[in-house]
Structure 1
Amino acid sequence: MGAYRETLNGLPATDKKVSETDLISDNGMILLNTIDKLRGLGIDKDIPLPQIVVVGSQSAGKSSVLEAISGISFPVNDGQCTTFASEIRLRRSKEEAIAVNVVSKSAFMENKKPLEIFGSQAGTDTKSLDWSQMPRIIDQATETMSSGQGQKFCEDMLRIEVSGPNQDHLTLIDLPGIFHVLKPGQDPTAPQRVKDTVLQYMREKRSIILAVVSAKDDYSNQEILKTVEAIDPSGIRTMGVITGIDMTPDGSTREQDYVSLARNELVPLALGWHVVRNLSFEDRKSTKPDRDTKELEFFATRKAWQSVPEQDCGAPQLKRKLKQVLLTHIGKELGDVITALEQRIETSEKVIKQLGPGRTTMFEKRGYLTQIGARHQELCRAALNGTYEDPFFETTGQRLRATIVDEYDRLEKAISNGHRWDFWTRQDAVPTPKWLEDIGAAASFGQMMPCHIRLSDYLAKVDTVLKRYRGRELQGTFDPLLIGVLFKDQAFRWRSIAQRSLENMMNFVKSFMERAVMHLMEPRRAQLLLKHRLFPDLHKRRQTIMEKLEELLKPFQNSAPRTHNPLFRQSYDRLEKDLVGRVARDDASGADLKDPEACEELALKMQCYYEIARPTFVDNVINLGVEQCLLDGLADTLSPLSISSMTDQEIDQLASEFPEDTVKRKKISRELETLRSGRDVCREFDQHEPREHFPSSEPVFSTGGTSNATMNASSMAAKPRSRNGAKVALRSRPEPANSSKYLGSEEEL
């Protein structure tokens, strides 16, 4: 501590030493400003940003520490409780300036305007700047934020930016002090709200925790240490600050405990501990040079504190240390921040693309819609052709041709099992095929499964038909129209099967059209286009394809069977030979047929015709129904040619911009500019200049002792910390017995 004794007769030597070595370059300031801009945009709600958060109880002396670092006076009001965070920005500039405003993150839009006005009025008239008015200004901002807003203002932040030639580049987030005892008139929910706010910031993995404790109380009673133990059990991102050291009796046990704490022996932290001597109530009007001189005098005259390395003592050294910690921390986190920024940029660019360009004239509106139409036509053609190179087709649900072909297969299988009577196979029960379960139609399609009966029983049904339709035929012959009667009965399920399949395919097309338009436009605009242009066209296509189905069914339902397929004769000869054996094997004792030969021939010819008609019907439904009536011309529904024929009224209805979209585009465009700028700056530091602008984790303070942060940073990162002996302790010497009193876990918070 010899350096301190040499400075008692003049200005502190440490002030001169700090100013001579500017740890953060101008480029470092650009990086800090970039992080601050991102935080100002509210990016930190989605992307945790590297930051230093100052935490402690209400009586820990946080305000005095911030005052010692920044040089500005903070209000001390025991009767007032803040429930929001404050961002303290320190920047070096040629002229002094102060700006106080509110960063609104809550939904209280009705209060946003007056808060912004207050921020501008608090502002930057450097000629008449009165630093003594800072407590009043901050009090006014606090009152404005807190009045009548309840819990919602916990999401807002008070920003205080101080610049001047004697400032350094540093940003701190001051969190409200934790407390439990309420005073008259205080909100009973305030303590928990404050605690929730503090925990939220501390839990962010990119937050450096600056934990402030007061030496006025035993360190084992400090609640903030319990919280740190729970949130950061390894102590890897925590720095401790001890205040109120002048309140401990010289040579007392409590003083010795806090000296050991400052030497990083009792509660080891990777970033170590720091000690400051705050102004007493009587000295509260002292200037900053007077304050620093009294602090130096204290460390020079109190023998116990001379065992603490000088780089861990005093406000000037604390500011220097915090600058190093913050920039080093930002350097370590840059890679993850860049990745998160790129993801946010990609999302924002997608929103901008969906909103489309600004458009006020009819020419701009028609051009916008034509561009959308061309892209939509391109996607439709690719989907119908089964070419899926476009990123739009990454998910299976958007691969229209593949989905349609799958439905073709299901239709063919359904029709193959759609006959009413199965008399040509064994009458044993047949389970529902797996393909029926796959299409999720086991119930309805299960009812369409053929009824398995013996051949003799079916011939008895044929005999009944022969008797019912008896005419002038000779014995052993029958009217050829009876083949159509049996066929119509056998194929009566074709209509319902085909209707269900067509409905499925129309739903596939509708779903594709919705996804394609939603991909190209913002949701509300897409809904307009679907409602007024695409869905009406799909409705017409539905009517057309259902009419086509009735046309395709008509030859099989209302007229005599007719075919010139040579396979009919071949099939008849094959089945006739098989029929002889089947009749011989079948138990026909219960069948009393009047004309067995005619019944067998009629059943056989109906079955032959059915086997030829079935694939013909399926092909007709696919080619003449789906391909021609549903899919043909689908890509031209919103083609540039069709858009060119729209009236101005139609164009205005479909392409006019919503007023709120104009505001949204401007807002997101500004955010994108900041996001891209922030990403580029972060990339520059991350890839090209890491050694120049990111100091190493080892402090570069003046010699005179070994910094506790230096001694513990590397070892603590590799070892778990425990205060109950269950794990390897991270201490250089045994822990006092009473140190376990303050231990806690995050589950207890």
Structure 2
Amino acid sequence: MSTPQAFDTMQLMGLQPTKHLELLDVVDKLRAQGLNEHVDLPQLIVCGDQSSGKSSVLSAISGVPFPKKENLCTRFATEVVLRRDDTMRENKICVTITPSSTRPRTDRRALDSFTRELNSMDDLPSTIDDATIAMGLDMTGSAFSADILRLEVRGPQMPQLTIVDLPGLVHTESKYQSADDIALVNSLVSEYMSQERSIILAVVSAKNDYVNQIVLTKTRQVDPRGLRTLGIITKPDALHPDSAGERSFIELAQNVDITFSLGWHVVRNKDSNEPADWDRDTLEAEFFQGSQFGRLDPKSRGIVALRERLSEVLFQQIQRELPGLISEILDATEETRVRLNRMGRSRATALEKQMFVMELGSKFSHICSAACEGLYESPFFDEFNSSTVDRRLRAVVQNANIGFAASMLDAPPTLPIDRSKNAAPSLAQRAKELVRSYRGKELPGTFNPNLVGQLFRELSRSWFDHARGHITAVWIHARTTVVAILNEVAEQDVRDICLKKIADPDLVLMQEEMTTRLDDYMLEFRRQPITYNHYLTETVQKVKYEREYAEARVRCMTLFANGALRSSDDVDSITRTIIKKPTEPDMDAIAAQELTDYTEAYYKVALKRVIDEVPSHVIEPAIMTHLPRIFDPSKILQMPEDLIEAIGGESDARKALRETLQAKLDVFTRSSRICKIYSDGTAQSHPTLGLSAPKTSPEKVATRSPDDGEMEDAPATPESAVEVPAAIEEFGWTIPSLSTKKDKKSKVARAKGIFE
């Protein structure tokens, strides 16, 4: 009986220098929380063309003896998850399948149930065969699967690491590999390679010209600068010594032809037809001793050097990505929390549904009232871009009212166009026409008092259009605000129902009320003018004075220009000359001038009234007062049951969505706590990470305790620290490399308790 094959942990320890274990442990704990299902985590991705030697590289790196047979290729992605468990005495291996989301639900359930506990690695080949059958690769005719084989190894000496072996990229169709298979493989490999926190191990076989190998083309597409790609050359023993092919691959290994920031590495793996008892590392060392590849830098050849190199590369990748990862966790936590808050609590009974609608209405009314009153303390009113300005409705309406006033003041009074002359008459001409056309029993030189109303109505005929346009614009702004508030407090389907069944009908009524109020108010100006404002007579007197002053000034200038002032005896005669006005023989002209003066004066009085009254008499009572009452509790209590059900009811899909979101929130919250624990305990030992505990300061700031929600004193963030999101400050982190372009809403929302 053969001894069960042991798991080679000594190989793996080459990947994990002690100085890196603490940092890598953080990522492993995050992955253990299931965070990798929602956020990309640093990992090693082994990819290459079919039969390029990927699995052999993976086996050599990880110590997991994947089965190697001639013409056997990887037919699905294999995630090798290595985890330390200090409570275990020996290594345990668990094999599961993560089904593709494209599979039918029944298939996913069947694959989810696939679990194999292995006692030794000798059982791995048969387990992979079982998984292949479970995926249906032997029955469907498909050569590849989008499902993922997950191989999890736990033990007291295990490092924290995830290595992914991907199906080989296929060049052409064959009877075993269809066009659909090729497309599936390309999609799967591209998805993994596109994860920016993953390190790409691009495996290139020396058996084929590297310029024809697809993996290099795909690598340039997802990592054009080569910042996270390490090229690995396999099967160098297949090249003839001193041949052009050997020289070409040596130049490639020297990072001359295709340049990667992480460079290239050469390994010589065992061939599947070589005896099993031959030591892989010995064969590799002997090869480099007798080959031109042996002249390469020792750090760029051999599996031992590769393990050390990957350790440093992985450490640097985590070091570089962890600040951004923390920020992404915080953003995801906030987004998930907001979605859950919008969905509200689970509701099954009629009372729970009605309470949900009441709570939704309360949230809406609170925000809407603040928007109408101009109290912008809520994060809802924080400005993200120009499209969110309508949220601050009071500011929008005030600015619109100011614009309305300016347009009314700037618009000159105009008369209707005389079609016979194709031009509008002057005000004096029109006044004279009216005096003649509406002549009554008044004395010559006076006018019919009713003519003031007639001429005024002609001058103010555009007012109604201005006012109608203004209230329509305000109504549109109000509806935009209502939609934004509903977006804030409710999920999309609930928002749509509330908008269609409640908000829009109320808004239509408000619009009708505004129109009615405007019509009633503007009707006053269709009647005979009435005012007791002394500004009317003051304006008439002022106009007359300015006209008489201008005429007298002209006469003075004429007299003085002619030298009329020669002695004091001439003063009286000159005075009489100045104040004497020429007699106007046209009595209609005199009456028209008086009519014009009074009409213009009344126009100014009425204009000021309209500018004030349209906002206060029409907009305020019809819109700004009623808007927060759309979801008035009394209305909700009177809602029919079917409407309460439509808003507050939940389908099975929504219940499942809530459970999913709650599970995600739990993952994100636990992950956030892990990051905090790490930053508190170990960040100071990794100064290059960019995470550090805050320096103590005499100043104290209030923070929220993650345990009980109470406020407590904590050291203030140093003044020299770069501004970071509030929740990060709450954790006690300083992250200089973290982008500060976070909206204010995110800061406030995060500060309200990431650990609640």
The aligned runs of 1:49-198 (5 Å cut-off) are 49-68=41-60, 69-74=62-67, 76=69, 78=71, 82=75, 85-91=77-83, 94=90, 96-104=92-100, 106=101, 108-110=102-104, 112-124=105-117, 130-140=123-133, 143-144=136-137, 147=140, 157-163=148-154, 168-184=159-175, 186-188=177-179, 194=185, 198=189
Query: How far apart, CA to CA, are the structure 1 residues paired with 2:353 and 2:204?
Result: 63
* 8 Å Cα contact 1:212/1:243 also seen in 2: yes
Shift of 1:236: 5.2
Given candidates 667, 670, 673, the residue that maps to 1:674 is 667
Provide the rounded CA distance (Å) in 2 between the counterparts of 1:458 and 1:311: 96
| Contact persistence 2:15–2:308 (CA under 8 A) | no
Report the residue type matching 1:87 in the other structure: E
Q: What does residue range 602-621 of structure 1 map to in structure 2 within 5 Å?
A: 602-621=595-614
CA distance in structure 2 between the aligned counterparts of 1:417 and 1:472, rounded to whole angstroms = 38
Question: How far did residue 629 of structure 1 move?
Answer: 2.8
- In the alignment, is residue 275 of structure 1 matched against residue 267 of structure 2? yes
Change (3 A) 1:34 1:15: closer
SS in 2 for 1:124: strand
**Quick one: structure 1 residues 143 and 462, their matched pair in 2 at CA, closer, same or farther if it must change by over 3 Å?**
same
Q: 1:563 aligns with which of 514, 517, 531?
A: 531
| TM-score normalised to structure 2 length | 0.71
The residue aligned with 2:726 is: none
| Counterpart residue number, 2:682 | 689
**CA distance 1:526–1:202, change in 2 (3 Å):** closer
In the alignment, is residue 464 of structure 1 matched against residue 433 of structure 2? Answer: yes
Match of 2:290 in 1: 304
CA deviations on 1:630-688 (whole Å, 9 max, x unpaired) are 32243233244654565666544432334322211111111121122223324433553
Q: Aligned-pair distance for 1:619?
A: 2.1
**Matched ranges for 1:530-545 at <5 A:** 530-545=499-514
Deviation larger for 59-68 or 117-126: 117-126
- What's 2:469 paired with? 500
Structure 1 regions of 5+ residues with no counterpart? Answer: 1-10, 424-450, 586-590, 697-749
1:574 maps onto 2:542 in alignment? yes
Deviation per residue, 1:463-485 (Å, 9 max, x gap): 33233323333433333222212
Task: Tell me the distance in 2 between the aligned counterparts of 1:261 and 1:473.
Answer: 110
Question: Does the 8 Å contact 1:98/1:160 carry over to 2?
Answer: yes
Q: State whether residues 359 and 656 of structure 1, in contact with CA within 8 Å, keep that contact through their aligned partners in structure 2.
A: yes
Residues 179-220 of structure 1: per-residue CA shift (max 9 Å, x gap): 424323533465576456545544544322223333445778
Amino acid at match of 2:682: E
TM superposition shift of 1:387: 2.2
Q: CA offsets, 1:13-50, max 9 Å, x none?
A: x9768779974659855632523655652433xxxx31
8 A Cα contact 1:274 1:313, kept in partner: yes
Name the CA shift for 1:583/1:629 in 2 (closer, same or farther; >3 Å). Answer: farther
Structure 1 residue corresponding to 2:453, chosen from 459, 484, 488: 484
Aligned to 2:199: 208
Question: Amino acid of the residue matched to residue 326 of structure 1?
Answer: L
> Which segments of 5 or more consecutive residues in structure 2 lack a partner in the other structure?
384-388, 417-421, 555-583, 690-756
Note closer, same or farther for the CA distance 1:71–1:340 as it changes in structure 2 (3 Å cut). Answer: same
Instruction: Go from structure 1 to structure 2 and tell me whether the alpha carbon gap of 1:223 and 1:533 turns closer, same or farther (over 3 Å shift).
Output: closer
Which region of structure 1 is more displaced relative to structure 2, 685-694 or 473-482? 685-694
Partner in structure 1 of residue 327 of structure 2: 339
Tell me the secondary structure at the aligned position of residue 86 of structure 1.
Answer: strand
Report the count of equivalent residues.
635
Instruction: Note if contact 2:132-2:138 (Cα within 8 Å) is conserved in structure 1.
Output: no
Partner of residue 364 from structure 2, selected from 373, 376, 383: 376
| Aligned ranges 1:427-442 → 2 under 5 Å | none
Structure 1 residue 128, shift from structure 2 partner: 12
- With over 3 angstroms needed to count, the CA separation of the structure-2 counterparts of 1:77 and 1:474, relative to structure 1, is farther
Q: For the Cα contact (< 8 Å) 1:463–1:594, is it kept in 2?
A: no
- Let me know the Cα RMSD of the aligned residues: 4.5
| Stretch moving more, 388-397 or 30-39 | 30-39
Instruction: Please tell me the residue identity of whatever aligns with 1:561.
Output: P
Q: Residue 421 of structure 1 aligns to a residue in which SS? A: coil
- Amino acid across the alignment from 1:172: I
- TM-superposition CA deviations, 1:606-631 (whole Å, max 9, x none): 22222212212332222222222332
Query: 1:659, 1:373 → 2: CA distance?
Result: 24
Q: In structure 2, what is the Cα distance between the partners aligned to 1:602 and 1:174? A: 95
Over 3 Å counting, the alpha-carbon distance change for 1:81 and 1:172 in structure 2 is closer
Indicate conservation of the 8 Å contact 1:61/1:243, yes or no: yes
Gap change, CA 1:28 and 1:693, over 3 Å in 2: farther
- Give the AA of the match of 1:66: L
Residues 73-94 of structure 1: per-residue CA shift (max 9 Å, x gap)? 3465748784x64322234563
Give SS of 2:113's match. Answer: helix
Structure 1 Cα separation of the partners of residues 205 and 9 of structure 2: 25
Residue equivalent to 1:550: 519
Q: CA 1:650–1:687 in 2, change beyond 3 Å: closer, same or farther?
A: same
The TM-score normalised by the length of structure 1 is: 0.72
| Matched-pair contact (CA < 8 Å) for 2:93–2:151 | no
Q: Is the 8 A contact 1:331 1:694 kept in 2?
A: no
How many Å apart are 1:557 and its aligned residue? 0.6
> CA separation in 1, counterparts of 2:614 and 2:545?
33
The verdict on how the C-alpha distance between 1:675 and 1:332 changes in structure 2, with shifts beyond 3 A counting, is: same
Change (3 A) 1:73 1:165: farther
1:745 alignment partner in structure 2: none
The secondary structure found in structure 2 opposite 1:160 is strand
1:596, distance to aligned residue in structure 2 (A): 2.1
Q: What is the identity, as a one-letter code, of the residue corresponding to 1:304?
A: G
Give the direction of change, closer, same or farther, for the CA distance of 1:482–1:323 in structure 2 (3 Å limit).
same
1:535 & 1:78 partners in 2: Cα distance? Answer: 67
Residues 361 and 27 (structure 1 numbering): CA distance in 2 closer, same or farther, change over 3 Å?
farther
Measured after TM superposition, the shift of residue 54 of structure 1 is 0.9
Q: Cα deviation per residue 1:370-391 (whole Å; 9 max; x = unaligned)?
A: 3333332222232222222222
Aligned-partner Cα distance in 1 for 2:280–2:135: 31
**Matched residue, 2:39:** 43
Alignment partners' CA distance in 1, 2:485 and 2:466 = 29
**Quick one: percent identity of the two aligned structures?**
25
Amino acid across the alignment from 1:160: L
Structure 1 residues 165 and 64, CA gap change in structure 2 (3 angstroms):
farther
Q: CA deviation at 1:556?
A: 1.7
Moved more, 333-342 or 628-637: 628-637
Q: What SS is found at the alignment partner of 1:43?
A: coil
Task: For residues 437-478 of structure 1, give each alpha carbon's deviation from its aligned partner in whole angstroms, at most 9, with x where no partner exists.
Answer: xxxxxxxxxxxxxx9977xx4333333323332333343333
Distance 1:253 1:168, change over 3 A: farther
State the 1:100 CA deviation: 3.1
The separation in 2 between residues aligned to 1:480 and 1:131, in whole angstroms, is 108
CA shift at 1:309, angstroms?
8.5
